[in-house]
Structure 1
Amino acid sequence: MKTMKFTPRGFGGDRRDADQVRRDGWREQGVLAVSADDERLSWPERELVRQLGERLYGKREQEARHG
């Protein structure tokens, strides 16, 4: 049986970790993906992220359920 001698795009090789994907998204496309719970941010920064998220996309499900 013959085996494939190449790897189709998107398969095999090294996978980027989530932080690398976010970093590349910011640097290449100006897209920022930030968790409102990211401990690297100060409380005011996390609050700003939460407010921006609510303004653009509405309340998170867990916040909507708890009022």
Structure 2
Amino acid sequence: MKTMRWHPPGYGGERRDTEKVKRDGWHEQGMLAVSVDDNRLTWPERELVEQLGTKLYGKRASTKEARNG
């Protein structure tokens, strides 16, 4: 006996981990998704991410001082 499905075939199952999605994006497509607040980065690396984001997409609504305060 089949169980009742509440979603179309292929749309159910487990949600992928966010870090796995980012890792796969980097390996498969050369896309990089980085948070300015990622604690794995050093201060100069976080500043570089901030500068790149500002250059490509403009200033953020929240300022750096608001994040640190």
TM-score strictly above 0.5? yes
Q: Kindly report structure 1 stretches of 4+ aligned residues shifted beyond 4 Å.
A: none
Percent identical: 61
Q: Residues 11-30 of structure 1 correspond to what in structure 2 (within 5 A)?
A: 11-30=11-30
TM-score after normalising by structure 1: 0.79
Q: 2:54 aligns to what? A: 54
How many angstroms does 1:7 deviate by? Answer: 5.2
Gaps of at least 5 residues in structure 1 are none
How many angstroms does 1:37 deviate by? Answer: 0.6
Question: 1:21 aligns to what SS in structure 2?
Answer: helix
For 1:48 and 1:17, how far apart are their aligned partners in 2? 26
TM-score after normalising by structure 2: 0.77
For 2:14 and 2:62, how far apart are their aligned partners in 1? 35
Gaps of at least 5 residues in structure 2 are none
